[in-house]
Structure 1
Amino acid sequence: MSDWTEHRIGTGHDGLASFAVHAEESRGRLFPEPDSRTRTPFQRDRDRIVHSTAFRRLKHKTQVFVAYEGDHYRTRLTHTIEVSQIARAFARALRLDEDLTEAVALVHDFGHTPFGHAGERALDRKLEAFGGFDHNAQSLRIVTALERRYAEFDGLNLTFETLEGLVKHNGPLTGPNAPSPHPVPPQIAAFDARFPLALDRFASLEAQAAAISDDIAYNTHDLDDGLRAGLIALDDLEQLELAGDILREVRARHPGLDPVRTGHEIMRRHITRMVEDVIATTLARLDADGIGSAEDVRAASRTIVDFSGPMREQVAQTRAFLFRRVYRNPKVFGAMEQAERVVEALFDRFVETPSLLPDGWAEKAIGLPPERLVRHVGDYLSGMTDSFALAEHRRLFDATPDLR
């Protein structure tokens, strides 16, 4: 990819493109800290993210299938690592800051609950009267308040650039380019009042690369896990424009190849086609929109790192197929409905009797007004792994469902 893009992108003294975020120009941290003698600010952010408790918890949180269904299914952690790998490939091809790109990719799923989107739906219902639950907002809350590792501050004290990437990697939250009229989650609004994140502007190309890498990873790997689980068959991919074309290409090139290797060949080519499409589209948009600096990116009228129109239609088709054949499959959907009830029951019990919370959490719940108590319980529940949520349910209730 570097040979493809090298002649299109001028670089500065640090080897990065003019429209990349340059570490020496970082807007800094909420709590100022001395510079490191050995690492850039974005390298420090990445390292803090990797060493956090929230990062380790991703190992036992659901991606699509509950974490203990099989050793080979994706978890939030393996998904996050795959997103990071794709994002770094974009950063290298486009001459962006790889460390900032990786930091945003590694932190993007911190706010996810146990049992994936099922847990998020449950908490959103329970917190509806208090601003709801949004996993991006919860990710911000984790890295700015709930991680407690440092003597001088709560959270990880990440740079402006990593925080804006976390909050705005899918686009501005306010202003004419915001994707929807939904209000800004209260946790984000409260932090923005302390440390403005320019919610009406786009995030950096590094953050945009991390965001589209998430789309590429789950569209490909959820197909892979669906095949592994037996919810779809290779021949089912024929109905998809992207995967079907690749399936025919693989079978023509490797007649008689066994199904397992055929699946692997499809998935790696699936990623490659989307990555190459994004790079070509991004280069065209950089030229067409006259993007010459990181500030040009933030002030742009559209996302720069994106799929082409035809590829976006193919991605949407794949996403709809996954919803119909995998996410809404009775085997998966039934387990997730039970998971929602587990999270709701835990929430109700802890709000009713906060003394049942563990040490540290129970003490901090004493005397909290209702709106703060429910958010406190939501913080506790959202940090749980799948296995811990089930263990807590068994501790507090007579019967706990088997989600296998």
Structure 2
Amino acid sequence: MNIREQIEEREELILSPLAAKSRLAVRSREEEPDPLRTAFQRDRDRIIHSKCFRRLKHKTQVYIAPGDHYRTRMTHTLEVGQISRTVARALRLNEDLVEAIAMGHDVGHTPFGHVGEYALRDLVGHFNHNEQSLRMVEVIEKNGKGLNLTTAVKEGIVGHTGAVIPSTLEGQIVRIVDRIAYLCHDFDDAQRAGMLSEDRLPDDVREVLGITPSEMITSMVMDIVENSMDQTEIKMSADVELTMNRFRQFMFKEVYLAPALIPDRNKAAHVVKNLFTYFMEHPGDMEEDFGHNGFYSTVDVVDYVAGLTDQYAIKLFKKFYIPKIML
């Protein structure tokens, strides 16, 4: 019995009967099992070693071109993974699966975060970052071969937001923890930016969740564990879920849609839209070839622009739209 088989055997003994077992994982293309790693561990590693994961370090979370200590998509992703593993461990669910889903859930995010997502949606009519995350790992990575991830990981990635809820409890953990992480940590960054302070939190949020990001995360995680133990779905109590939604409404009003952030967001949308227009007219200037036999579609341009980091998008915008100053 090799090490992977020993881990799979321990999963059967230790994990909840409701947990996803790596021994039963399925891939679209069959592969020889790894002697050391389970299927979900292997998926996690493939995502972490991918180009789309590395680009998250230069993609906006909330603040465009922030200073030190502000979150990026990379740090948000790591925080979602950490909190998700805590919940999974408490519920005796598969930590490796939740980590793999968490590492991949945002790899389809555009430059400048949701601003770029909305800009591409305006241009092509339908664009969602969760669907693009799935496309990144399934189609685009490894020069069009994809990462051949397991079905449970892919389902969790695309289901971390949107109408379709993942069938695995591990996918459901990431779905709810993603919201917990961005609300609490965006509140932390908003305080650092001088946009908010603890005393401005709604009274019910203060009373039910607490006033610091750590207290808020702890309150919601404990509530999830208490209400999901040995259950067939991951859920919060009605009171905590209502308060979290109240907190989310507060954050949209005070931060996500704040007038102070609109000028930079308009500029970011302008960059994304103009790059899309440019590459539709000059597809040969895309530095990575998403086309086939010289043919480029709108999808190829969307894939290329969506994959750019903030910094590289700005660099390309300057290259194609800003005249050079001759000294």
TM-score normalised to structure 1 length: 0.74
| Range with greater deviation from structure 2 (331-340 or 373-382) | 331-340
Amino acid at match of 2:191: L
- Aligned residue runs from structure 1 range 221-300, under 5 A: 221-237=185-201, 239-243=202-206, 266-283=212-229, 286=231, 291=232
Amino acid at match of 1:161: A
| Range with greater deviation from structure 2 (29-38 or 330-339) | 330-339
Q: Deviations over 1:33-70 (max 9, x none)?
A: 1011111000000000110101100000000001x321
Q: What does residue 97 of structure 1 align with?
A: 94
1:328 to 257, 266, 273: 257
Contact 1:54–1:383, Cα closer than 8 Å, also in 2: yes
How far apart, in 1, do the equivalents of 2:288 and 2:244 lie? 46
Contact 1:142–1:155, Cα closer than 8 Å, also in 2: yes
Q: What does residue 161 of structure 1 align with?
A: 152
Q: How many residues align?
A: 315
2:312 to 372, 382, 388: 388
Gaps of 5+ in 1: 1-10, 179-201, 248-262, 292-303
Q: What does residue 34 of structure 1 align with?
A: 32
Q: Secondary structure at the match of 1:111?
A: coil
| Range with greater deviation from structure 2 (225-234 or 11-20) | 11-20
Q: What does residue 63 of structure 1 align with?
A: 61
- CA gap of 1:365–1:121, structure 2 versus 1, over 3 A, is farther
How far apart, in 2, do the equivalents of 1:359 and 1:110 lie? 17
Structure ID, larger Rg: 1
2:75 to 60, 70, 78: 78
- Tell me the CA shift for residue 25 of structure 1: 1.5
- CA gap of 1:18–1:392, structure 2 versus 1, over 3 A, is same
Contact 1:87–1:102, Cα closer than 8 Å, also in 2: yes
1:48 to 46, 49, 58: 46
Amino acid at match of 1:352: E
- Tell me the CA shift for residue 360 of structure 1: 2.9
Q: Deviations over 1:236-266 (max 9, x none)?
A: 12x242235666xxxxxxxxxxxxxxx7xx2
- Aligned residue runs from structure 1 range 88-127, under 5 A: 88-127=85-124
Amino acid at match of 2:94: D
- Tell me the CA shift for residue 212 of structure 1: 1.0
Contact 2:111–2:313, Cα closer than 8 Å, also in 1: yes
- CA gap of 1:90–1:72, structure 2 versus 1, over 3 A, is same
- Structure 2 residue 175 is matched with structure 1 residue 211: yes
- Tell me the CA shift for residue 355 of structure 1: 2.5
Q: Secondary structure at the match of 2:146?
A: coil
Amino acid at match of 1:101: V
| Range with greater deviation from structure 2 (107-116 or 391-400) | 391-400
Identical aligned pairs, as a percentage? Answer: 41
- CA gap of 1:226–1:32, structure 2 versus 1, over 3 A, is same
Q: Secondary structure at the match of 1:360?
A: coil
- CA gap of 1:109–1:240, structure 2 versus 1, over 3 A, is farther
- CA gap of 1:399–1:322, structure 2 versus 1, over 3 A, is farther
Q: What does residue 296 of structure 1 align with?
A: none
Contact 1:277–1:311, Cα closer than 8 Å, also in 2: yes
- Aligned residue runs from structure 1 range 113-192, under 5 A: 113-128=110-125, 132-148=126-142, 154-170=145-161, 173=164
- CA gap of 1:163–1:242, structure 2 versus 1, over 3 A, is same
Q: Secondary structure at the match of 2:287?
A: coil
Q: What does residue 271 of structure 2 align with?
A: 342
Amino acid at match of 2:220: M
Q: What does residue 22 of structure 2 align with?
A: 23
Q: Secondary structure at the match of 1:136?
A: helix
- CA gap of 1:164–1:75, structure 2 versus 1, over 3 A, is same
- CA gap of 1:29–1:12, structure 2 versus 1, over 3 A, is closer
- CA gap of 1:391–1:244, structure 2 versus 1, over 3 A, is farther
- Tell me the CA shift for residue 331 of structure 1: 2.2
Q: What does residue 303 of structure 2 align with?
A: 379
Contact 1:240–1:318, Cα closer than 8 Å, also in 2: no
Amino acid at match of 1:360: D
Gaps of 5+ in 2: 1-9
Contact 1:170–1:208, Cα closer than 8 Å, also in 2: no
How far apart, in 2, do the equivalents of 1:12 and 1:24 lie? 9
TM-score normalised to structure 2 length: 0.91
How far apart, in 2, do the equivalents of 1:367 and 1:318 lie? 47
Contact 2:59–2:113, Cα closer than 8 Å, also in 1: yes
- Tell me the CA shift for residue 164 of structure 1: 1.5
Q: Deviations over 1:139-184 (max 9, x none)?
A: 11111111016xxx701000111111112344764xxxx7xxxxxx
How far apart, in 1, do the equivalents of 2:316 and 2:293 lie? 18
Q: Secondary structure at the match of 2:23?
A: helix
How far apart, in 2, do the equivalents of 1:389 and 1:272 lie? 37
Contact 2:108–2:131, Cα closer than 8 Å, also in 1: yes
